[in-house]
A and B are shown apart, each in its own frame.
Chain A
Amino acid sequence: MSEKLLSVENLTMKFGGLIAIDDLSFSAMKDQITSIIGPNGAGKTTVFNCLTGFYKASSGSMFLNKDNKTLDLKKFSDFKVAQKAGVARTFQNIRLFPQMSVLENMMVAQHNKLMAASGFSLLGLINAPSFLRKEKEAKEISKYWLDIINLTNRADDNAGDLPYGDQRKLEIVRAMCIEPYLLCLDEPAAGLNAKESAELNKLLKFIQKEKKTGILLIEHDMSVVMGISDHVVVLNYGKKIFEGTAQETKKSPEVIEAYLGTEE
């Protein structure tokens, strides 16, 4: 049994009278892929938005175990979740910097460490060797990731000019550039063909095994969910209706009912 990475306890999110997430508790293990599935409007993306600081949860708590320290994610506001707690995310509708080159996208993801190295731009302005060294390192890291997704030869093209599947993969490796402990992926396989989602599975497995990064995955594509998830959480109307392994989920009557309805 591996260590607990994330534990969400009694998370509730209300928008006025609408209860988007209702008393949700689940946990994700270190070096595991945890999938959150559920019909449209079940509150999956809202869970992500609460975790990554885009929304402030109405009640409940979220804890991240980072280097044997427990961080309360509620205490971090938007960008600090990524900067301080090491939670990275991607978006359902891809959010790259389309007019910037692929390499620049990767460099922006390493902003905080480069900013410190550039002495808040003062050392950078005078081309201090320490800054140039850091910049070169960052470029190496970018190249390492771009090599993995076979995009190195397009590194100087605008990110917006890439094919759709490559943009998805670029967004994931860009998120990996902040060296996260937890990577939250919002429907990474949406719009991908069979070959591309197989590649995606490989990439996610690589991140899980080699980088020891916990992955939280929202997905509709069951070939991805069943193929790589170690653990599945099923939501419906903001409530958790099932939690278990992929195999157990497939057989669960509650899940089948939520997706297909009941026989009258």
Chain B
Amino acid sequence: MDTNLFRYAWRHSKGQQLVLLAVIIISLPFYWISLEVPKQIANDAIQGRAFADGNLTATLFDMKIGLPAFLGGGNLVISEGLDLERLPFLLVLSGWFLALVFVNGAFKYFINLRKGVLGETMLRRMRHDLFVLLLRFRPEDVAAVKPAEAASMIKDEVDPIGGFIGDAFIQPVFLGTQAATALIFIFVQSVWMGIAAAAVVTVQAVIIPLLRREQLRLGRMRQIESRRFAGRIGEVVETASTVHTFGASADVDADVANRLGTLFTIRARLFKRKFAVKFLNNMLSQVTPFAFYSVGGYFALRGEMDIGQLIAVIAAYRDLPPPIKELIDWDQQRQDVTIKYEQVIKQFSPSKLLPPFDEAAGGNGFPASGAPIEIRSVSIGDGRGGHVLDRLSLTLARPGHIAFLDEVGGARDVLCRLIGRQITEYEGSIAVGDCDLSSFPEATLARHLTYCGPSPDLSAGSLRDNLLIGLRRMTAAPGEDDVDYSRLGPGEGPETLSRRLHEAIDAVGGNEHVRRLGLNSRLEGEFLDHTADRIVAARRLLHERIETAGLTHVIERFDATRYNRQATIGENLMFGIPVGGRLKGTGLAHDPFTLSILEAEGLLGSLLAGGRKIAEMAVETFAGLPPDHPVFERYSFLSPSLVEELTDVLDALAKQGDWGPTPALRGELLELVFEFIEPRHRIGLLTPEFRARLLRARQSFQRHLPHELRDAIEFYDYDRYMRQAPMLDNLLFGRIAGDKMHMRDRIVPLVTAVLTELGLDETVFDLGMRFDVGKGGQNLHPQQRARFAVARALLRRPEILVLNGTLGALPAADAATLLDGVRRAMAGRTLITSLGDGDEAEGFDAVYRFKGGRLVSGGA
């Protein structure tokens, strides 16, 4: 991007700017005429100069052009005009003035609108240009970028710049020509008055900006001093103990008093400056009309100027200060925005950029699959004078499975990152065949080489979307197939994609994980229509199998006469799941009908006590834990922000004392306790008496449920599919008792067998693929994230796969199994991986061992 804002703006918006400039020029005659008409109204219509010499009518809008002598002299009549009596003459002239007001307004509307659109267009372009630059940052440069800062720069900081670009050229021309037209008009009416107006404008244009500049400087100074003052207070608080120990309180106090004095002085100067500018502005705007009335009136009395001219001058002068003021503002904005633009550009100008990712930009094609990877004298420093990699030369034959052995963080990791093009700054060269690794455009490289690092990142969205990254067309319309199969390879289509997804998931041992995600998801849309009845059939079959296996006691079924310990208190009370509206989410805790039932059954007290206990435990134990802490996964109804809110809830409860909680606080506590599951959260609420009361409340709840809430709950019904419940709840019609060891391991194979038998495997797989992995994949277990990241890489079927530390998240045995799967999937292609010891590399085609940045042994 151009380092100069004006050059950048002109290059990308020249056409639109020129059109607008032309419109401005065209608008000027209309503006001039609108200044002339008041004079005509005063002189010709009101004072009757057009009706002098006893004329009853006068001609309006006549247009004649005087011809030069060589054309025969005389006048060329374009319009004869209208002959009007005095009153119609006045009214038509006034109407004409009104029409000109509309015309000038329309010009302003058009110009402002186009300016806005132009600014927005340029803002869009600028944001896009910056984003493209960001995508072309080298990995090492991206690592230095703070995500929040980059996002803020692209989103917020360029916002005023885009707005200014609309004004960059147009505003000074538009305002300048308007001011010049008004000034010239005044000069034409009276030179003296023109001089007076010009003098005032000059003062405005020169002195006020100077005063304002000082005002800005003082503002900045105040900001810096305020920051220092705040920093000093923070420092004193942090070192309070030392201050007291060494008796430095008086010194610290004097220092702070001194800083406060400095702040006061700056503020006082700021006020002086600010109000001086205001005073000068007010005075100039009042004094000038005084001059016009007195001096202009004097000329009018002497007959050197007529009343119409005086009125026109005053009207023209009224139009003069606003453009000047806006021009001053424009200039100030220009300075601010230019600095901002330069700062943003600086942040987006690393010393080197990756090649353009647009394939059309050229670059090398990828060499044939047999071309080796040539590493020639590659060195990388460790930042302390040593080397992580010291003049390494190596030829890696392809295809082949290659292992680099070293300690974590050693040469093996660096080498993997170099080949994966995650490090681009090094001495020496790395080539594939004859082509330097850095010469491949991103799209070419991505088709042939995939790098999978130690912290695989997933984006918010479905698991499928994440696996298909780089294969999806973002521009696909809703409902349209968004996969670009050509990127998978020739002959690929929807059928092969499904097979490839299964192969990739299978290779990383992810089937069980996808199935689990699917079983914990709800059926929706077309799935629901086609599958609901089959799930109810599967439920019956599964229960038969569970009974045969003697495992009935392992499932706590949804039974209207029993409390289900594996379900929440809310689910137990409703014996169902809220569908929407009043009872969904936190609605149940605030519903008057629910409260009346709980009160009638004498449950409210113990529930509120339970809610309070959860709140206290959460505040004591979870406060300050990071949002990704596993405890928030187990207590999914508590979030870090809610834990903070609960502190206020507990404070408010303490203040209430014997009065008991207010309705709002009561709602907050019930929200918590309704989510409670005893075996998981264990606050000791579920006494036999509590369970009995809750079962009574359940009956009352169902018996007295108001008509308007009938559709708000989906009650558990063995013969029906529960739309709001996850697939597993539907299959089991209950929940697995989690407190008995190994029971899940015994139930899951039965579930899997039934699903396979009824042909529901694919449905569960597809449902798992729809699972939202959350921002950064936070809804997945770290081990799942690693597995799916490898599956994502395999799905691309790269010629070269670099696996660097991705399997570190897995226990060694799982990692070894996964590596076997990857090796099978990569048979006949190249796999490069970093490993800890030789045992793991058994069977690899080539194993290289490093120590202290040097290759100590290795080869095929």
Partners in one complex: no
